[in-house]
Structure 1
Amino acid sequence: MSFSQELHDKISQTEERIGFRLTEVDRIVDENQWKVIQAFQKHKVSDYHFAGSTGYGYNDRGREVLDLVYAEVFGAEAGLVRPHFVSGTHTISTALFGVLRPGDELLYITGKPYDTLHKVIGKPGDGKGSLQDFGIKYKEVPLLEEGGIDWASVEKAITVQTKVIGIQRSRGYDWRASFTVAEIREMADKVKMLKNDLIVFVDNCYGEFTETWEPTEAGVDLMAGSLIKNPGGGIAPSGGYIVGKQKYVEQASYRLTAPGIGGEVGAMLGTTRAIYQGLFLAPLLVGQAVKGSILAAAVFEELGFETKPGWTEPRTDLIQAIRFSSDEHLIAFVQGIQMSSAVDSHVVPEPWDMPGYEHPVIMAAGTFIQGGSLELSADAPIREPFIAYMQGGLTYSHVKLGILTALRNMKDRGLL
């Protein structure tokens, strides 16, 4: 790869400066790797669990043990892990439709959720089968200006109809810090003091294995995530997971298949080995991605750009937000990330009206798994403020290459 000596020196000097942070990530990787291995050992995972099933998939022991392993890893009573979930949004939707009924209310206390969930929530009578179309009420409480929970407004918003409290762990397309597991525990404790029969639900996308514990170990009742993000380890070809209390996971399983069938059936379509192996690799690969995001934050901060989180700040998801001064900067950065890809490096991403989003989006995604955001990718809505969201990287070296290529692309266009 051809980069100027100036760029090479900048990266090398930055790596020396952030070395202690990278070592901290290694310690988190160790703890999570051991936790995953212990779960495999406890449930006696064997090679016969990787065998495929057909048709109904009755008595698919690999599928059954996979659910147990996920529950163990996430400190939950039960798990539902399936390739049949087509995305994180589908998985979250399944969990929410599973536990909510007409007349109930969903209250998000972390502000407006991620763009793709807006159509799931919907509007009353929209005819699209959304939550509100089914008579499920919805409210949200915006975060305070500094990014914290507005507890005074939350207390006012909770009513006798409120059944589920929604929490989005990751920042999504907001300029805020993602929530730590300790902060989520505080949220769960406080809302249950206000109304003790609430179901606390967490969208855990991008958060798995970035800390040494998970929200379902901290008072959360139900949680969902995507296998083409962190826990799939860059290998799972599709799917999602739901973990939490047994009764809520069971209700979600009835929404995935049908009442009375639930999680008892479902051929795994040849994906079982990849899902197990992806989970095994996930702690290491998440660590690689987190290291890369720390490097990106440090490099771009030194160049005068705002980043969130900063390189010294705690990490509780994969996403690195970088604020640029113009759409030209943003587009050059995202296109530079694409140029560094092993797959589709020749493709030039352009902003487009992506389904489920309210603004044109530019997305760099040269990935082996389509949309796999544990792999190095970047995306951004084309709107002010001009913020790019970089995530993933199966290897730290690839993230470093992505940063170098993006910087070179920006410099070549006279933007640095």
Structure 2
Amino acid sequence: MQQGNNEAWQQLEQLLQETEAEIREALYAVDTISERNQWKVIEAFKKYKVSDYHFAGSTGYGYNDRGREVLDLVFAETFGAEKALVRPHFASGTHTISTALFGVLRPGDELLYITGKPYDTLHKVIGKEKDGSGSLVDWGISYESVALLDDGQVDWQGVADALKPNTKVIGIQRSRGYDWRASFTIEQIKLMVERVKELAPNCVVFVDNCYGEFTELLEPTEVGVDLMAGSLIKNPGGGLAETGGYIAGRADLVDAAAYRLTAPGIGAEVGAMLGTLRAMYQGLFLAPHLVSQAVKGSILAAAVFERLGFETKPKWHEKRTDLIQAVRFGQADHLISFVQGIQQAAAVDAHVTPEPWDMPGYEHAVIMAAGTFIQGGSLELSADAPIREPYIAYMQGGLTYAHVKYGILTSLAKMKNNGLI
């Protein structure tokens, strides 16, 4: 079923137009957040006098790369942090988070996640005793997680019971990951930090900030979080950064992570940027607007699928704190058709039909729609899901609202053509 004069497509387009009229105020609120975040980024650029020569990059050791140094300062200022480490040398969000954790933790310390088990790809980083992979546990760093309560909130009694004298880092995953729960807002994270500091004043509070940047007016490091990490091929790269990640927070903790990324005594002082700086600066500049496009697309997706009788999280009218829109399909064929429809709406690789496969770092077969200019770029329209009950799809991204809208239409058309709606 293709765009054009097809009657079924026109019916679906009418459905979206009616839905947009219903959610107009919610879309406007996203634009307001985008404006404020755009101004914040520009003020950071102005403060550190960003100029054309900062985009030149470096080679070899990368000594005295002023563009790299100023980029760190701009990120730190934008995120309200003492220091930041922004590098193309981070291969993924998981690599960035791993670097932060290995930088801060030492043998004998404990990592305690208070928001349930972290995202699937981090499980191998945590590892098992004597697994030989160089995981945290393999290095004598213990790990525990406290499951969330049935209402999705932190189990503070469970946290108090789990704290030990050697608990060094308290981990918080802002985004829902592959869980059917609400992502945590900045206000909720602020309250978590306050409670943790009451229970364990010396613990480092770490936040996995992936998918969350610029969805609200503040970032975790602006409300007391000690350290956070994220990926540049998600929100803060603005669809232009070709790879990389960032770590931001307390200066001593960022320094420790830098020693892990390179080597003790070297840290952030080296690292050739190899022509990546312009895209990183410009991507950060564009990020607030592009994130708003994706968030508005997620609101539309939630509203449309709710009208069709599917469960969504968050619902269209609920507060947004990340890019991810979860839709519970209940059946594998509904889920697969939806993800395949998102792929068919892509500008890149639209001719490819995704199928479930065993992907490294995941515990179940996963289906992914990823017709992106940047491989794995989650600020671009994509969707993925583990093939397990209750068959929940996780849609994220969209560099333009129009593309998300087209993706929703194409997925609905595929589902309708398969007799599923």
Give TM-score, length-normalised by structure 2: 0.98
| 2:68–2:277 Cα contact (<8 Å) kept | yes
Matched to 1:166, the amino acid is G
Matched to 1:353, the amino acid is D
1:235 aligns with 2:240: yes
**One of 282, 293, 296 as aligned partner of 1:291:** 296
**One of 134, 138, 149 as aligned partner of 1:129:** 134
Aligned mates of 2:221, 2:337 — CA distance in 1:
39
**One of 71, 95, 99 as aligned partner of 1:90:** 95
Q: Which residue of the partner structure matches residue 172 of structure 1?
A: 177
Q: Which residue of the partner structure matches residue 368 of structure 2?
A: 363
1:151 aligns with 2:156: yes
Matched to 2:17, the amino acid is S
Aligned mates of 2:58, 2:330 — CA distance in 1:
53
- 1:315-342 Cα distance to aligned partner (Å, 9 max, x none): 0000000000200000000000000000
- 1:199-240 Cα distance to aligned partner (Å, 9 max, x none): 000000000000000000001000000000000000000000
Moved more, 186-195 or 276-285: 186-195
Q: Which residue of the partner structure matches residue 16 of structure 2?
A: 11
- 1:27-72 Cα distance to aligned partner (Å, 9 max, x none): 0000000000000000000000000210000000000000000000
Residue correspondence of structure 1 range 60-75 to structure 2 within 5 A? 60-75=65-80
1:187 aligns with 2:175: no
Matched to 1:317, the amino acid is D
Q: Which residue of the partner structure matches residue 99 of structure 1?
A: 104
Residue correspondence of structure 1 range 261-272 to structure 2 within 5 A? 261-272=266-277
Q: Which runs of 5+ in 2 are unaligned?
A: none
Matched to 2:352, the amino acid is V
- Equivalent residue of 1:200, what SS? strand
Matched to 1:182, the amino acid is E
1:22 aligns with 2:30: no
Matched to 2:387, the amino acid is I
Q: Which residue of the partner structure matches residue 278 of structure 1?
A: 283
Q: Percent identity?
A: 74
Aligned mates of 1:189, 1:269 — CA distance in 2:
41
Deviation at 1:254, TM superposition (A): 0.2
Deviation at 1:5, TM superposition (A): 1.9
Q: Which residue of the partner structure matches residue 161 of structure 1?
A: 166
Q: Which runs of 5+ in 1 are unaligned?
A: none
1:401 aligns with 2:406: yes
Q: Which residue of the partner structure matches residue 319 of structure 2?
A: 314
1:54 aligns with 2:64: no
**One of 205, 220, 224 as aligned partner of 1:215:** 220
- Equivalent residue of 2:111, what SS? strand
| 2:312–2:327 Cα contact (<8 Å) kept | yes
**One of 353, 360, 372 as aligned partner of 2:358:** 353
Aligned mates of 2:69, 2:309 — CA distance in 1:
51
Q: Which residue of the partner structure matches residue 304 of structure 1?
A: 309
Aligned mates of 1:57, 1:375 — CA distance in 2:
31
1:119 aligns with 2:124: yes
- Equivalent residue of 1:242, what SS? strand
Matched to 1:332, the amino acid is S
- 1:98-156 Cα distance to aligned partner (Å, 9 max, x none): 00000000000000100000000000111100000000000000000110000000001
* C-alpha RMSD of matched pairs (Å): 0.5
- 1:65-94 Cα distance to aligned partner (Å, 9 max, x none): 000000000000000000000000000000
| 2:330–2:389 Cα contact (<8 Å) kept | no
Deviation at 1:8, TM superposition (A): 1.2
- 1:329-377 Cα distance to aligned partner (Å, 9 max, x none): 0000000000000000000000000000000000000000000000000
Aligned mates of 1:169, 1:379 — CA distance in 2:
18
| 2:128–2:137 Cα contact (<8 Å) kept | yes
Q: Which residue of the partner structure matches residue 76 of structure 1?
A: 81
Deviation at 1:269, TM superposition (A): 1.3
Aligned mates of 2:10, 2:400 — CA distance in 1:
23
Aligned mates of 1:392, 1:119 — CA distance in 2:
26
Aligned mates of 2:411, 2:149 — CA distance in 1:
33
- Equivalent residue of 2:197, what SS? helix
**One of 114, 137, 144 as aligned partner of 1:139:** 144
- 1:152-177 Cα distance to aligned partner (Å, 9 max, x none): 00001011110000000000000000
**One of 371, 378, 385 as aligned partner of 1:373:** 378
Give TM-score, length-normalised by structure 1: 1.00
Matched to 1:393, the amino acid is G
- Equivalent residue of 1:362, what SS? strand
Aligned mates of 1:11, 1:76 — CA distance in 2:
41
Aligned mates of 1:305, 1:82 — CA distance in 2:
40
Matched to 1:213, the amino acid is L
- 1:268-292 Cα distance to aligned partner (Å, 9 max, x none): 0110000000000000000000000
Deviation at 1:255, TM superposition (A): 0.2
Aligned mates of 1:89, 1:193 — CA distance in 2:
29
| 2:57–2:68 Cα contact (<8 Å) kept | no
Aligned mates of 1:186, 1:34 — CA distance in 2:
27
- 1:285-316 Cα distance to aligned partner (Å, 9 max, x none): 00000000000000000000000000000000
Matched to 2:189, the amino acid is I
Matched to 1:247, the amino acid is D
Aligned mates of 1:181, 1:325 — CA distance in 2:
31
Aligned mates of 1:390, 1:8 — CA distance in 2:
20
1:412 aligns with 2:392: no
Q: Which residue of the partner structure matches residue 397 of structure 2?
A: 392
- Equivalent residue of 1:206, what SS? coil
